[in-house]
Amino acid sequence: MKDLEFKLNSTDIHPNSEIKGVISVAYPGRYDGVVINTQILDSNEHIIYKSYNGKKISQNVSRLFINKDVMPEHKAEFTAIINFEPTKEYEVKFRVSIIEQHKEIESQIIFAKYSV
């Protein structure tokens, strides 16, 4: 296993459909947690994270940090949603990074498409 593995339930996203992701960390060193950054390319819109590891997120955040202390077995699951009506097909970039003392150790990128 690589130091970081990241999967989405689907790379074909539609309005108001739940996005689920799973992150697994096998990094042998010390780390503080993982961060998920998402961009909807060619757009000013944002993704909204709803929960991680079963814990609801109360405010709308477009960037999500998950502390390793709340990652049992070094795994994290999250849910998110995009709720604007697309006028065309957009490319969505998910970037997950392992963070150690404010530095990025390793990252993985997945591209998805967002359309009606």
d(CA 116, CA 108): 26
- What pLDDT shows up at residue 1? 66
- At the fourth CATH level, which superfamily is domain 4-114? Uncharacterised protein PF12988, DUF3872 (2.60.40.2410)
Residues 6+ apart with CB under 8 A from 9: 19, 20, 21
Tell me what pLDDT residue 6 has. Answer: 97
Amino acid at position 115, single letter: S
Q: Where are the domains of the chain?
A: 4-114
CA–CA dist 37, 64 (Å, integer): 7
Whole-number percent of the chain with pLDDT over 70 = 99
Which residues in the chain come in under a pLDDT of 50? none
